[in-house]
A and B are shown apart, each in its own frame.
Chain A
Amino acid sequence: MDVFLQVLANGVMLGGLFAIVSVGLTLIFGIVKVVNFAHGEFLMVGMYLTYLAVSGLGLHPFAAVILVVPVLFLLGALTQRFLIQPLLAAGDHHIQIFATVGLSTVLINLALLVFGADIANTPPSGLRQPLQIGPVRVLLGQVVILGTAILLVAGLQTFLARTRTGRAIRAVAQNRAAAELMGIDVNRIYALTFGIGAACVGVAAVLIAPLYPTSPNSGTYFVLIAFVVVVLGGLGSIRGAFVGAILIGLIDSVTGFYVGADMREVAVFGVFLAILILKPSGLFGRQLRLSHVSP
């Protein structure tokens, strides 16, 4: 029984990790309607920055937030402004996919050139300390990640619901043309949203770097899971992404323990394909018009 509880706890902790990585991705998809294939590389960049800040400047990972988050916000906003925005008018998904795939290729190989293929280990700074909560043991860093994920989800929801800018962001997502007619600078909102999405993954990077090794390919693993989570939760739904992340974390953990560590991905991607094919709107998303004819 204790073992099972431990497996569940691991799953929830893993879910928190997936959630914090996915929030930005779903935000960008929901508002800008672009699937950002470079999302994982944003995470990787953030992890390297954290590594540099912690082992180079001797900062505590939490302090590295001040450095990492603004840089990623900028990276995101610039990506939108100079890579995605010129392509939005074309309305061609193919080109958008290749744009972010190309960006991802550039970032991975840039990291290879600068840091080499070796793994960079960010000093754990106490975040690997185990915590005993009742019958289960988890790491302090994992709890921090889960807590931050919850705060991030709640914070974003409130921001979108209550503030003028948040409402403008939602308006753009729901009806871009009408938003423009309200006097909203749609391109500014897109850049802002992309920036916020990237900043979210910056927060994730700072918390993940002390727990996981950083390498040029770090992002790839996380982003594939993030796509699964985001599709499961309903593309664009922030709350859905959180629930989806916890579910995937549990599936991953349970399969890993009871079936075999190497079958975890098969289970996770199996769920992903089933959802994609059977219910593409996800568990919580409304029916999305995946293809639509623009007038």
Chain B
Amino acid sequence: MTDIPLTAAPSAGLSAFPRRGAAALALVLAALVAVPVAVGNPFIYHVFITICVFAALSTAWNIVGGYAGQLSLGHGIFYGLGAYCGMLLVGAGISPWIGMVAGAALAMLVALAISYPCFRLHGPFFSLATIAFLEVFRVLALHFRDLTGGATGLMIPLKFGWAWMVFRDRWPPLAIAFGLLLLTLAVAWWMRTHRIGFYLVATRERESAARAAGVPTVGTRLVAVAVSGALTAMVGTFHAMYLTFIEPAAVFSLTLSIQIAMFALIGGLGTVFGPLLGAVLLVPITELARGWLGAKALGLHGLVYGLVLVLVVLFLPNGLMGLVSRFTRAGAGTRGVQAGTVAAAPRAAERRPLGEAVIRVEGLQKRFGGLHVTNDVGFTLREGEILGLIGPNGAGKTTVFNMISGFLKPDAGSVSVRAPDGTWHSPGRPADFAALGVGRTFQIVQPFAAMTVEENIMVGAFYRHRDVREAREVARETAERMGLAPWLGSEARGLTIGGLKRLEVARVMAMRPRVLLLDEVMAGINQTDVRRAIDLMLSIRDTGVSIIAIEHVMQAVMALSDRVIVLSSGQIIAQGSPQDVVRDAAVIEAYLGKEFVHAHA
């Protein structure tokens, strides 16, 4: 069981698993096999096989429910598909091992078909939809009784041996269950520590920020749900063979689906080994209650489950793993004042001349309700240019940003981006913009709160580097440059607003963009750091990146911009050099105020 290279996971957070933890895990896994073999009691065998089955189911569920944060209460569907596939093929004289593969493939297809429309739903609505699908499957299984045996269920013909997955001995089913558990854990661990895991968590935390970072949010989650469904189905096939009997009410079961999810939550949602922990601790309660008290204990184990669940929800929202890590991890987060110095970047001695146009915006129109928030906005951004976008609050600056990064579709007009090869494109979705090298930040910062600073930046770095080690390297470099190095290991939610603003920029910079859209990144930075931030922007520009910056800090606007565009009530009311614009009568009227001029004079 030591074939899972746990100790090879360095870094904090996602993959933090200290040596002691690895030893504890190895111990738990070893005990799952050693205890029943040592005791030799059939009942104990049964309890441990059941633990392995539920730990595997729960671990598979966690890929969707925990990593992706899509709380499925319909995993009984996949379990049932695996079970029925195995049963029906055995009935036709085909080995359940083949049934297992067929079930997994079928579950994968069903998972994709169900999830694609459902991913538009969030929180409880997704859960409700999965419950509804589960009910439909259950009713259909009852209805097509010629195939499924209907309410009477299906029984396997007793053919013993490895080929039929039915045994007289107790140890072979334990070996298979344990093997499935290891497989599931290995898959879950692999996903969590590779790009897809980062992508899933990022999408869960902030979908829009993930999309801006070039994460294919839908595709990633579809992969997760397909893998989760396939693994669940495989366990389902085995469990059906082990129980030798299935019926629709027992497999397409809401109670079962809730239980699977429950172990994961109790153990620790989104952690690799939490579901295992949850199952190890809770399954024995059910089985022992059933074994010792029989019918008298009807409802007792369920009551215990429910109470434990409620207590965990109230007092241990991060589950048992949260409790474990609270004791094992020393205060990793650095709190307090985060003055955070932005590294003074060495500047190129001479500025490169402005290049060709990289973005062309023509005749943009956008209405919300009756309100005309963008009215015929057009401009061009050239290579290596910094374009300042100013105007009163509500002038429609962020709306323009949303349209030139794919987050909003303009009602009319066009946005074209020139690719590195010189061809012009009209991208539509955020992913298309990202592919052309357009990166953006958000005015209201959107950190992936549960991830560390390093992991936040890595999400951006993954855009160009699939490999975790390379992405981490890029993230560290970027953090260094943005003055975030001291907080690499702290959770993003602990940063101050100024730190979060810098994290926004760092995440985009890690994508190595050609065009940078900055939405009020100076806001909340203290005066001395504004100067440093200006230098940083200039050094970014000197590397050939073009920048459009929405900014209120006039000091920065004046110092940075090659050109300034002033928006008011959705229209461009002035554009030109910063010096000309601040003298423009319309600009003074709409934005700067007469006081600005008085004060100037």
- Of B207, B254, B307, B446, chain A has the most CB atoms within 10 Å of the CB of B307
Closest Cβ of chain A to B197, distance in Å, is 18
B77 at the interface (CB under 8 A from A): no
A180 to B142, CA, bound (A): 51
In chain B, residues 282-300, which have Cβ atoms closer than 8 Å to a Cβ of chain A? Answer: 298-300
Chain B's closest residue to A272 (CB) is B132
Chain B residues positioned under 8 Å from A269 (CB to CB):
132-133, 135-136, 139
Q: Which single member of A231, A273, A291 contacts B122 (CB below 8 Å)?
A: A291
Q: Is B309 a contact partner of A105 (Cβ separation < 8 A)? A: yes
Closest Cβ of chain B to A35, distance in Å, is 4
In chain A, residues 267-295, which have Cβ atoms closer than 8 Å to a Cβ of chain B? Answer: 269-270, 272-273, 276-277, 280, 290-291, 293, 295
A93 to B122, CA, bound (A): 9
Q: Is B142 a contact partner of A262 (Cβ separation < 8 A)? A: yes
Q: Is B120 a contact partner of A277 (Cβ separation < 8 A)? A: yes
B71 at the interface (CB under 8 A from A): yes
Chain A residues positioned under 8 Å from B269 (CB to CB):
94
Chain A residues positioned under 8 Å from B71 (CB to CB):
93-94, 97
Q: Is A106 a contact partner of B124 (Cβ separation < 8 A)? A: no
Q: Is A98 a contact partner of B309 (Cβ separation < 8 A)? A: yes
B336 at the interface (CB under 8 A from A): no
Closest Cβ of chain A to B332, distance in Å, is 21
A220 at the interface (CB under 8 A from B): yes
Q: Is A103 a contact partner of B310 (Cβ separation < 8 A)? A: yes
Chain B residues positioned under 8 Å from A291 (CB to CB):
122-123, 207
Q: Which single member of A109, A270, A290 contacts B121 (CB below 8 Å)?
A: A290
* A95-117 interface code vs B (CB 8 A; 1 in, 0 out): 11111011111111111110011
In chain B, residues 150-193, which have Cβ atoms closer than 8 Å to a Cβ of chain A? Answer: none
* B269-291 interface code vs A (CB 8 A; 1 in, 0 out): 10000000000000000000000
A263 at the interface (CB under 8 A from B): yes
User: Assuming A99-B313, A276-B128, is B302 touching A108 (CB within 8 A)?
Assistant: yes
Q: Is B310 a contact partner of A99 (Cβ separation < 8 A)? A: yes
Q: Could you tell me how many residues of chain B have their Cβ less than 8 Å away from some Cβ of chain A? A: 47
User: Which of A53-61, A83-91, A139-147, A148-156 participates in binding chain B?
Assistant: A83-91
In chain A, residues 232-281, which have Cβ atoms closer than 8 Å to a Cβ of chain B? Answer: 260, 262-263, 265-266, 269-270, 272-273, 276-277, 280
Closest Cβ of chain A to B149, distance in Å, is 15
A113 to B305, CA, bound (A): 14
* B568-583 interface code vs A (CB 8 A; 1 in, 0 out): 0000000000000000
A116 to B117, CA, bound (A): 40
A227 at the interface (CB under 8 A from B): yes
Q: Is A106 a contact partner of B123 (Cβ separation < 8 A)? A: no
Closest Cβ of chain A to B143, distance in Å, is 5
Closest Cβ of chain A to B349, distance in Å, is 43
Q: Which single member of A96, A113, A263 contacts B298 (CB below 8 Å)?
A: A113
A101 to B262, CA, bound (A): 9
Q: Is A109 a contact partner of B444 (Cβ separation < 8 A)? A: no
Closest Cβ of chain B to A133, distance in Å, is 32
Chain B residues positioned under 8 Å from A101 (CB to CB):
73, 258, 261-262, 309
Chain A residues positioned under 8 Å from B314 (CB to CB):
83, 86-87, 99
A93 to B71, CA, bound (A): 9
Q: Is B298 a contact partner of A116 (Cβ separation < 8 A)? A: yes
Q: Which single member of B121, B301, B305 contacts A276 (CB below 8 Å)?
A: B121
Chain A residues positioned under 8 Å from B121 (CB to CB):
276-277, 280, 290
User: Assuming A98-B313, A101-B309, A102-B309, is B132 touching A110 (CB within 8 A)?
Assistant: no
Closest Cβ of chain B to A13, distance in Å, is 23
A165 to B71, CA, bound (A): 35
Q: Is B299 a contact partner of A109 (Cβ separation < 8 A)? A: yes
Chain B residues positioned under 8 Å from A97 (CB to CB):
71, 123-124, 127
- Of A96, A105, A276, A291, chain B has the most CB atoms within 10 Å of the CB of A105
Q: Is B129 a contact partner of A277 (Cβ separation < 8 A)? A: yes
Q: Is B303 a contact partner of A266 (Cβ separation < 8 A)? A: no
Closest Cβ of chain B to A290, distance in Å, is 5
In chain B, residues 238-260, which have Cβ atoms closer than 8 Å to a Cβ of chain A? Answer: 254, 258
Chain B residues positioned under 8 Å from A272 (CB to CB):
132
Chain A residues positioned under 8 Å from B207 (CB to CB):
291
A78 at the interface (CB under 8 A from B): no
A11 at the interface (CB under 8 A from B): no
Closest Cβ of chain B to A94, distance in Å, is 5
A2 at the interface (CB under 8 A from B): no
Chain B residues positioned under 8 Å from A107 (CB to CB):
306
A202 at the interface (CB under 8 A from B): no
Q: Which single member of B139, B306, B317 contacts A105 (CB below 8 Å)?
A: B306
A95 to B139, CA, bound (A): 29
Q: Is A266 a contact partner of B128 (Cβ separation < 8 A)? A: no
Q: Is B300 a contact partner of A113 (Cβ separation < 8 A)? A: yes
Chain A residues positioned under 8 Å from B132 (CB to CB):
224, 228, 269, 272-273, 276
Q: Which single member of B73, B124, B127, B302 contacts A109 (CB below 8 Å)?
A: B302
Q: Is B129 a contact partner of A102 (Cβ separation < 8 A)? A: no
Q: Is B131 a contact partner of A83 (Cβ separation < 8 A)? A: no
Chain B residues positioned under 8 Å from A76 (CB to CB):
none
Closest Cβ of chain A to B81, distance in Å, is 17
A216 to B317, CA, bound (A): 28
Closest Cβ of chain A to B146, distance in Å, is 14
Chain B's closest residue to A270 (CB) is B136
Q: Is A83 a contact partner of B317 (Cβ separation < 8 A)? A: no
Q: Is B139 a contact partner of A265 (Cβ separation < 8 A)? A: yes
Chain B's closest residue to A111 (CB) is B299
Q: Is A290 a contact partner of B298 (Cβ separation < 8 A)? A: no
Closest Cβ of chain B to A85, distance in Å, is 11
- Of B122, B140, B306, B307, chain A has the most CB atoms within 10 Å of the CB of B306
Chain A residues positioned under 8 Å from B298 (CB to CB):
112-113, 116-117
Q: Is B128 a contact partner of A231 (Cβ separation < 8 A)? A: yes
Closest Cβ of chain A to B290, distance in Å, is 13
A95 to B316, CA, bound (A): 10
B361 at the interface (CB under 8 A from A): no
Chain B residues positioned under 8 Å from A228 (CB to CB):
132
B118 at the interface (CB under 8 A from A): yes
Chain A residues positioned under 8 Å from B258 (CB to CB):
101, 105
* A1-28 interface code vs B (CB 8 A; 1 in, 0 out): 0000000000000000000000000000
Q: Is B302 a contact partner of A112 (Cβ separation < 8 A)? A: yes
A105 to B309, CA, bound (A): 9
Chain A's closest residue to B136 (CB) is A269
User: Assuming A110-B303, A265-B136, is B69 touching A94 (CB within 8 A)?
Assistant: yes
Closest Cβ of chain A to B129, distance in Å, is 5
Chain A residues positioned under 8 Å from B261 (CB to CB):
98, 101
Sample of 9 A–B contacts (CB below 8 Å): A90-B317, A93-B123, A95-B313, A101-B258, A102-B307, A105-B258, A110-B303, A280-B125, A290-B123
A residues at B contact (CB < 8 Å): 35, 37, 83, 86-87, 90, 92-99, 101-113, 116-117, 216, 220, 224, 227-228, 231, 260, 262-263, 265-266, 269-270, 272-273, 276-277, 280, 290-291, 293, 295
Known contacts A227-B131, A265-B135; 20 additional CB pairs below 8 A are A83-B310, A94-B265, A101-B309, A102-B313, A103-B306, A105-B303, A105-B305, A108-B302, A109-B303, A112-B303, A113-B298, A269-B136, A272-B132, A277-B120, A280-B121, A290-B122, A290-B123, A291-B122, A291-B123, A293-B446
